[in-house]
Chain A
Amino acid sequence: AQSVAQPEDQVNVAEGNPLTVKCTYSVSGNPYLFWYVQYPNRGLQFLLKYITGDNLVKGSYGFEAEFNKSQTSFHLKKPSALVSDSALYFCAVRDEGNTPLVFGKGTRLSVIA
């Protein structure tokens, strides 16, 4: 069965500094990996995905994520954080079949001016 771990409930970073939100996964076969963001009182919005190809994936709002097969990780990164990036971030995984996405518990990012 698939699973996702987001080891940090909360990440605090100063505006302008780089940010990393961690995610590790477990799946049989090749993983399909996703990051979603949830702003207050809003639904989840798709940020980026890794299916195959380059290990560094670029997505919306300047975010990127690096797929590391040996470490089974898919950490979300941004070179320079903005206050507007403050939100709840979810990592998700599925296998190659059409099974439902399995989500992590989420990491709350707080960017401080």
Chain B
Amino acid sequence: GAGVSQSPSNKVTEKGKDVELRCDPISGHTALYWYRQSLGQGLEFLIYFQGNSAPDKSGLPSDRFSAERTGGSVSTLTIQRTQQEDSAVYLCASSLLGQANYGYTFGSGTRLTVV
């Protein structure tokens, strides 16, 4: 598509439930990133997919968080047993593989509220 698409745009869930957040990157962009934006905390890196390489999971805050990318395109971020501190805006971005001088194109994000 023309841009990075994220769904849902808003998600309210009860504490303890699992949630799945979806990201559809720009066609042809082989690098995909997930970030979390919390109030006053800036953007926190979560996980990075680059082509067929093993993902960089170094930013995932706990083992309740996982992500996959199927067919080198769509990615799903899963949060199990959600906690109130998971409430944030989850942003997905994509860029051209191996192009360190390229910036990212971000989606509009998914606002997650855990009640």
Known: A34-B103, A44-B91, A46-B103. A100 touches B42 (CB 8 A): no
Query: Quick one: which of A36, A45, A101, A104 has the most chain B CB within 10 A?
Result: A101
Known: A43-B106, A43-B107, A100-B48. A32 touches B101 (CB 8 A): yes
Question: Are A43 and B43 closer than 8 Å at their CB atoms?
Answer: no
B14 at the interface (CB under 8 A from A): no
Closest A residue by C-beta to B34: A100
- Which among A63-71, A75-83, A90-98 touches the partner chain? A90-98
* Chain A residues near B101 (CB-CB < 8 A): 32, 49, 51
Question: Are B100 and A100 closer than 8 Å at their CB atoms?
Answer: no
A105 at the interface (CB under 8 A from B): yes
Q: Which A1-24 residues sit within 8 Å CB-CB of chain B?
A: 9
* Chain B residues near A106 (CB-CB < 8 A): 42-43
A88 CB to closest chain B CB (Å) equals 10
Q: Compute the total of residue contacts between A and B using a CB distance below 8 Å.
A: 60
We find that the number of chain B residues with CB closer than 8 angstroms to chain A is 27
B50 at the interface (CB under 8 A from A): yes
A46 to B35, CA, bound (A): 16
Could you write out 13 A-B pairs with CB less than 8 Å apart? A9-B40, A44-B43, A46-B104, A51-B101, A90-B43, A97-B100, A98-B98, A98-B100, A99-B100, A100-B59, A102-B45, A104-B42, A106-B43
